[in-house]
Structure 1
Amino acid sequence: MADPYFFGYGSLVNTATHDFPEPRPATLSGWRRVWRHTDLRPVAFLTAIPDPTCAIQGLIAHVPNDDWEALDEREWAYDRISVTHATEHPVIREVEIAVYSVPEHRQSAPDTQHPILLSYLDVVVQGYARVFGPEGVDHFFATTGGWDAPILDDRAAPRYPRHQPMGTDEHALVDEYLMRLGAQTFQLT
Structure 2
Amino acid sequence: MTDAAKPGPYSAASTGLLLVDPYNDFLSEGGKLYGRAKPVADQVGTLANLKKVVATVRAARIKVLYVPHHRSRSGDFAAWKHPSPYQLGASRAQVFAEGSWGGQWHPDFEPLPGDVIIHEHWGGSGFANTDLDLQLKQHGIQKVILIGMLANTCIEATGRFAAELGYHVTLVRDATAAFSAEAMHAAHEINGPTFAHAIVTTAELCAALG
Task: Give the TM-score normalised by structure 1.
Answer: 0.36
Structure with the higher fraction of residues in helix conformation: 2
Tell me which protein shows more strand as a share of its residues. Answer: 1
